[in-house]
Each structure stands twice: as structure tokens, then as C-alpha cells.
Amino acid sequence: MLALIISFILILITSFIVIKPLIDKLYSVPNEPKYIHSYIPILGFALQFGANPIEFIKSLHSKYGKSFTISMTSRRFVYLNDEQTYLTKVLKSPDLSIDGFLEEIAVRGIGINRECLSNENIQKIIVKQFHQYLFGDELQLLNKKVYDYIIHTMKEDANKNQDKIVNLFDFFNEIMVYAGAAALYGETFANEQRNTKPSLYEAFITFEKAFALGITGLPFLSILFSSTIKKRSDFIDKFSSLKLNNGESNLIQSRAELFSSDAYKHIFTKHDVGCLQGSLLWAAVSNTAPMSCWAVIDLLLHPEAFEAVKQELNEINQDSSENRLPIYDKETLSKLKILDSCITETMRHTVQTSAQRQAINDTSIECLDGTIIGLRKNDIIIYPAFVKHFDPNLFGSNPYEYQYDRFVKKSNQKVPSVMLFGCGNRMCPGRLLAFGEIKLLVALIIQHMNIEFVSMDEKYRQECCKQLPYDYSKFISSGGPKKGHKDKFMIKYSYKNF
């Protein structure tokens, strides 16, 4: 029986290897980039990409040039390492859009009804809400709520006479989840969710795992990972019946009014409302929380950077004038140039940033050098900004190394450009909130905490200084440490200046 099963599997694999290229040619278009075949059904190059996307994509660009096509989880990805062509041609093409790509991620990742996302009027309203409530004075209100909640959490923790040895990632990730929840949904909601079963943080962690599985689009997910997929409802259900007029942000209030309006309420189920409201917290925290942790780690590993940021914060705090602004004020945050550079540098050498657009029909792009790139309908064309972020010509012979003042403007020296939040008119609308959250947490840690690693020897510290043990396997959100490395980031901490 076993021999029959093995024979059947071998026949399937052989058929896949022989037949797939033939079928693939039937749908080809002129001037397609080189297609690199994988002999792994469905997954394609997903495993190699997940292990280390930066080195994997860099190696393919080195071998095949600026453009090539690979398959991952049954999707075709066309990589184009040509920033100017992407910015001037791809983003402006009427035949390319990000909407379908994002819609598919949401449907697969959180299980929302597709009609909620495909309705053009609803999408226009949602985009307008983002620009109305994530900038200017509204952004400052959100920053203040984040600041207030972090300070409140620290003061409460400082009053507990307990040994304070924790995992850095677990500790600060949890703080960021609840601070983000307080800013968006109100402090009352955040406090209540600490005491539920599962807690908001526990449900958030499970939701992240389910989301990561869902977006792969692999067959039989609901069977193979039924427990994990089902548990994402533990997170979504917390947002399905939000109590309004309870300190929530204007963004959440306006979205709730949209979902319950006479014009659109027939489209949204209770589950859909939970998906849309809850996914905002995931979007706000899934990248900022781990990035905050890595930013703190980089500062702890590099004392000269830590002291530079500390001095910058001290200079702001020494301002005794009546016009002194709080740290969460946008003007104060904008003055923290060294801290800004430190965070940008951390994100540069960790986040696998890229820009994506999907072909809505067969089309082509003419590059600035005259090269024609043919695209099939549903091809996803990607500019891998992370390849640029590790270019030795821009960032030195070892671009994985940390240089804290790299992005501080100096006379007669050009600051290298990076792409951390996408590009074009669909650049991440929450980018200022996200960066502000990281700045606030890191600043408050430096001002009010003493931290030391308790399980990191000098050899491991030096290895981290050369290259952080970053987990690149997450396709959408930012990662923590690689498997087997998390315990190295146990910390002992205490509080000061309260």
C-alpha cells in the first residue's frame, strides 16, 4: 500500500514537472521576463523566499538581471529591480492596481466578505477617512493616547515590587498592542480586554498566526490548520459589537457610522464589522511592535547610539520655557532627528519592504532604458526596495551593520533614500502614526527604564552587532527573532524618573 502511495505521488510530481511548463506557455504574453521554474507544486519558491527573502531575491537579480518571474503559493510574481521605472511607469499605469491584491489578502487572511471590499463607494469613503483621521490634529490626539497609555502602564508596573525579568519581545509587544487599542478604541476597551479570556494580546497573537496561514492560499488550510484558523474569531469577535461613545477615536467612530448607515448596512454582517474594525489594530501594531523591539535592541547593542538619543531627549527636556511642548506633540517628535535616524536604520536592515501592483489585464511596461516588460493578467509586479536597502554601494560593505546617524542630515553629504511604507498614492496611510508610536515607546524607555540583557554573552552580542537574528519568514508583518534565538533577549529592568 505504501509503495502505491509513493508511486502515485511520484507520478503527480512528474506530471507537474512535465505538464505545467506546457500549460504555462499557453497563457504567455510578448516580452515576458525570464520565468524561473520551481519543481515544488503549489509552494513554488515560497520556502526559499521565507528563509531569507533578501539574499534569495538578490541572488536571482544577480543571476537573471533586473527582472524575472517566480511562482509562490500558485501566484506569479514579477520582480523589477528598477526604482525609477516603478515610480514613473508602473505606479501610473491604468492597467496596474493594488486594490485586487489587497482585497485577496484581506479575504484570505481575515475571512471577510469580498463585497465589503469590492464596493467602490465604500472604498473611497474608507480611504478618505484614513486621510482625515490619521494626519494633522487627529494624529496628535492618537499620539497623546498612545503616550498616556504607555506612561500609565509603566507607572503601574513600577509600583509592583516584583522581580522584573522578562522577554523583551513579549513585554514590549504586549504594551504596544494595548497602547494601540487604547488610542483607537478607547482606554476603557483596552483595560477591559486585559481581563478577558483570551485576553486581547493572546487573541492578537493567535490571529497573526491564522492570518499568515490564510494569505498563503494553500489548499485544505481549513482542514490542516482548523484549530488555528477558527481561533482568529477570538480576535475578530472582540470588535464585532464595539461600545461607541466610550473614548474611541474619531476614525473608529466614523467607520462604525459607515458600517451601520442605511446606505451600506445591508452589506456588512457582524463578522465583517469585526474584521474591518479589528484589522485596524493588526495593521497599526503588527509592524510597529516588533520594530520597536528591534529599535531598542539596536540601541542597547550600540552604547554610542543610546547615549546620542539620550542626550537629544535631555536637551528637549531641559527646555523650561512656557512654550515647551509635550513629547507626543508633532513638533517635538520632529525635533528628534537622531532617534528618527536610529529607527529608520533599524527598519532599513530588518524590514523586507517592497511595493506591489497587480495587472488587471494583459499589459506591458516600457522601462526607462527601453526594455519592455510583458505582464499577464493577475501577475503581481514587485519593486523589492529591500534589495536597495542592502546595496553595498549605498550602505557600505556590510549593509547589515547598524550606523545610527546614517539618516541624520550632514553638510555636503546626501542622506540615502529608503522606502519603508510603500509608495505612490496608496502609500501606507498610517505611516506617521506607526513611526510616531515607535518613537514614543523608545523615547519613554530611554527616559524611564534601566534595561540590561541577562542571557546574552559577549560573543552573541558581537554577532548581533554584525547582523541581527531577524526572522524574515513573515510575508506581510514584521518578524521577531529567528527560531531558537528568542531566549537570548531576556532582560532585567527597573524604572527611574517617575
Q: Which residues are annotated as a binding site for heme?
A: 428
Handedness of CA 147, 148, 149, 155 (dihedral sign): positive
The type of residue at 374 is: G
Locate 390 and state its grid cell.
Answer: 542592502
Residues paired with residue 410 on neighbouring β-strands, in sequence order: 413
How many Å apart are CA 269 and CA 283, to the nearest integer? 21
Locate 104 and state its grid cell.
Answer: 485577496
DSSP element (H, E) containing 221: helix 221-224
Confirm if 269 and 241 have CB atoms less than 8 A apart.
no
Confirm if 189 and 248 have CB atoms less than 8 A apart.
yes
How many Å apart are CA 117 and CA 98, to the nearest integer? 13
How many Å apart are CA 437 and CA 340, to the nearest integer? 12
DSSP element (H, E) containing 196: none
How many Å apart are CA 135 and CA 33, to the nearest integer? 40
The type of residue at 326 is: P
Binding residues: 108, 287, 428
How many Å apart are CA 417 and CA 407, to the nearest integer? 9
Confirm if 355 and 80 have CB atoms less than 8 A apart.
no
Angle at CA of residue 151, ends 147 and 155, nearest 5°:
175
How many Å apart are CA 17 and CA 136, to the nearest integer? 55
Binding residues for substrate: 108, 287
- One DSSP character per residue, 244-257 reads SSSS--HHHHHHHH
DSSP 88: I
How many Å apart are CA 99 and CA 182, to the nearest integer? 29
DSSP 474: -
Cα 216–chain centre separation: 16
How many Å apart are CA 428 and CA 131, to the nearest integer? 10
Residue 104, phi-psi category: left (phi > 0), alpha (psi -120 to 50), beta (remainder): alpha
Residue 309: CB atoms within 10 Å: 22
Residue with cell 463585497: 115
DSSP 69: E
Locate 200 and state its grid cell.
Answer: 486581547
Residue with cell 510530481: 13
